[in-house]
Amino acid sequence: MKTAVFHPDEGQEYWFHEGCHILEVCNREDDPDVSIARARVAPGATTHWHRLEGVGERYLIVQGAGLVETGSLKAQPVASGDLVSIPPDTPQRIHNSGKIDLIFYAICTPRFTPACYHSIEAGETS
């Protein structure tokens, strides 16, 4: 890692098959310890059940409200300012229960790579 200032380009936001839009803030090979992405979930939408192999994740909610499910926890309400801590390999998903976009920063340690993402079919969440 070296000293840097990152300026995410809104035009680089993309649709991720998990069911949300992603804007990479910082995800670099030369900084393998962490990645940060902004996730945006539309009102009424729920991301797919998934897990990140060997990668812990934190959701820092910055806008909206929702319900998050992780591992064996029942759905928990979340809103702006809340932080969700998700250990590596833990099934997870989030639902936007509000009327505006649910926006949160997904902070992954170590950094997110496509190889760590595993979709989980219905019924395989425990």
- Cα separations in angstroms, 52 against 80, 84, 96, 101, 115: 24, 15, 21, 24, 9
DSSP secondary structure of 9-51: -GGG-EEETTTEEEEEEE--TT-TT-EEEEEEE-TT-BPPPEE
User: Which pTM value belongs to this model?
Assistant: 0.92
Looking at residue 65, its amino acid is: A
Q: Count, in order, helices (H) and strands (E) of the chain.
A: 0, 11
Cα–chain center distance at 22: 9
Domain boundaries, the chain: 14-119
Q: How do the pLDDT tens digits run along the chain, 126 residues long?
A: 789 899 999 999 999 999 999 999 999 999 999 999 999 999 999 999 999 999 999 999 999 999 999 999 999 999 999 999 999 999 999 999 999 999 999 999 999 999 999 999 665 544
Which of the following CATH numbers is that of domain 14-119: 3.40.50.2300, 3.40.1160.10, 3.40.50.300, 2.60.120.10?
2.60.120.10
